[in-house]
């Protein structure tokens, strides 16, 4: 059985698409199938009055682009990208803006607001396959899945942003990760102008990483996920979630309860947008939890008076970035020039309402360099930075 549906985006659910700079060469693994390219045509898309990109990012920072347009559906998005590339116009795609840091000077080119929405559902006996348009708010999909009894993404509740950004970042939280339910993504190749389907292997998922993340070559048009029909969550993996739920790691709980607890945890860390609370004006976690070698971990351990929290990650050891920031002497609420570390969570850098991107990056640089100097660990930023450098 096939059903289609759509929902209205919440202005607070904002997240971004990918970089305007970076690798434009090389080829990634073969895609499932390339689709014929139709004759090129210039779509008439709504041209908006250029406004500061601060109005379209969760940090509420960033200057205006030279031109601001809107792509209302998949076909408009394809035509817009192809036309910009044919004309040699720099293009920045903005869906939700939750993973985007834009320079105070704005963007020297066209910024396109991705507003393609909708969910197509195919059901079988015990699973559902959902294909979701790139601009569809992610948390709307999670809420729909919980209501419908689709298990697999309930612990990814409260993440601001668009569905198109989830495979790019291989979004994960509270014991669940996009790659676990991912089937394919429909992708526009900006080198060839062709549309293809990328399967899991072609996406090359890693920890908060994918084949899409470090290149502007590909544009995700929609993503397909396979969920399980169940009123219960997937086994709870995250200890903090299990403790709050009053269950053991590995237990399952009602979907609605799992989502509710995750939202509570996120709110407690300032990770759910609240227009009345500047402590939530952030890009989420600003630094990725670093993965270091055994030798680097031993060096870190000798530099502190306790064994650092850690867990295995591939061939390395992952250390919490928030813990490193604290050990380097930074307290929640520390900041200057209108920006600060969140009072709720050391990993979030916030705009207190009168900050600038320059001030935010100065604070991030201060934190990164102090951690490197005092603890010997280099931290990398998680959000995409446009028009500036860290």
Question: What are 360-383's pLDDT values in tens digits?
Answer: 999 999 999 999 999 999 999 999
Find the DSSP H helices in the chain: 74-87, 138-148, 165-169, 200-203, 239-245, 255-268, 294-303, 321-327, 357-375
pLDDT tier, 341 (very low <50, low <70, confident <90, very high otherwise): very high
Residue environment code for 178-207, b if the CB has 16+ CB neighbours within 10 A, otherwise e: bbbbbebbbbbbbeeeebbbbbeebbbbee
In this predicted structure, the answer to whether residue 170 has a pLDDT above a threshold of 70 is: yes
The reply to whether 1-268 and 278-386 are identical in fold is no
Judged against a pLDDT cut of 50, whether residue 39 lies above it is answered with: no
Contacts of 3 (CB under 8 A, 6+ apart): 120, 121, 123
Q: How many residues does the chain have?
A: 390
The radius of gyration computed from the CA coordinates of the chain, to the nearest angstrom, equals: 21
Domain 278-386, second-level architecture: Alpha-Beta Complex (3.90)
Active site residue 382: yes
Residues 6+ apart with CB under 8 A from 79: 41, 42, 43, 45
Catalytic residue, candidates 52, 67, 204, 208: 208
Catalytic residue among 196, 285, 342, 368: 285
Q: What is the architecture, at CATH level 2, of domain 1-268? A: 2-Layer Sandwich (3.30)
Residue 208 annotated as catalytic: yes
Record the tokens describing residue 150, joined without a space: 């689709």
When pLDDT is averaged across residues 171-184 and rounded to a whole number, the result is 96
Whether residue 285 lies in the annotated active site: yes
The helix (run of H) or strand (run of E) holding residue 288 is none
Q: Give φ, ψ of 296 to 5 degrees.
A: -65, -35
Of 163, 160, 161, 153, residue with least CA distance to 132:
163
Q: Which is catalytic among the residues 148, 180, 260, 382?
A: 382
User: Is residue 49 scored above 90 in pLDDT?
Assistant: no
CA 263, 264, 265: angle at the middle one, nearest 5? 90
The pLDDT of 62-81, averaged and rounded, is 96
Question: Residue 155 corresponds to which tokens in the numbers above?
Answer: 């612990």
In the chain, domain spans = 1-268, 278-386
Place of tokens 């227009």: 275
Q: What percent of the chain has pLDDT over 90?
A: 80
Q: Which residue has the tokens 């600038």?
A: 356
- Could you read off the pLDDT of 110-156 as tens digits, one per residue? 999 999 999 999 999 999 999 999 999 999 999 999 999 999 999 99
How many whole angstroms separate alpha carbon 30 and alpha carbon 339? 44
Residue 326, pLDDT > 90, answer yes
- For the chain, how long is the longest CA-to-CA vector? 65
């Amino acid at each position: 059985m096939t059903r289609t549906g759509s929902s209205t985006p919440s202005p607070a659910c904002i997240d971004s698409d990918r970089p305007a700079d970076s690798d434009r060469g090389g080829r990634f693994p073969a895609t499932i199938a390339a689709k014929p390219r139709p004759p090129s045509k210039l779509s008439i898309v709504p041209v908006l009055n250029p406004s500061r990109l601060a109005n379209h990012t969760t940090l509420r920072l960033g200057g205006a682009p030279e031109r601001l347009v809107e792509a209302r559906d998949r076909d408009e998005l394809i035509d817009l990208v192809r036309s910009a590339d044919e004309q040699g116009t720099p293009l920045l795609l903005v869906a939700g803006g939750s993973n985007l840091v834009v320079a105070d000077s704005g963007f020297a080119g066209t910024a396109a607001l991705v507003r393609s929405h909708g969910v197509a559902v195919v059901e079988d006996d015990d699973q559902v396959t959902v294909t979701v348009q790139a601009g569809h708010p992610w948390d709307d999909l999670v809420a729909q899945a919980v209501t419908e009894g689709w298990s697999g993404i309930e612990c990814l509740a409260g993440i601001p942003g668009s569905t198109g950004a989830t495979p790019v970042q291989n979004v994960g939280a509270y014991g669940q990760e996009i790659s676990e339910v991912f089937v394919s993504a429909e992708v526009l190749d900006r080198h060839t102008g062709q549309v293809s389907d990328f399967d899991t292997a072609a996406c090359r998922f890693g920890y908060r990483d994918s084949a899409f993340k470090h290149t502007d070559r590909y544009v995700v048009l929609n993503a397909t996920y396979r969920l399980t029909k169940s009123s219960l969550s997937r086994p709870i993996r995250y200890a903090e979630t299990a403790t709050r739920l009053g269950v053991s790691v590995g237990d399952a709980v009602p979907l609605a309860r799992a989502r509710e607890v995750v939202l509570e945890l996120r709110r407690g860390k300032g990770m759910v947008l609240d227009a009345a609370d500047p402590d939530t004006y952030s890009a989420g976690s600003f630094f990725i939890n670093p993965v270091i070698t055994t030798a680097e971990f031993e060096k870190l351990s000798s530099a502190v008076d306790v064994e650092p929290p850690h867990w295995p990650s591939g061939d390395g050891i992952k250390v919490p970035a928030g813990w490193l920031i604290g050990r380097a002497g930074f307290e929640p609420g520390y900041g200057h020039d209108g920006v600060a570390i969140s009072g709720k969570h050391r990993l979030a850098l916030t705009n207190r309402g009168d900050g600038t991107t320059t001030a935010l990056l100065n604070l991030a640089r201060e934190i990164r360099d102090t951690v490197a100097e005092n603890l010997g660990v280099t931290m990398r930023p998680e959000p995409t930075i446009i028009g500036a450098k860290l």
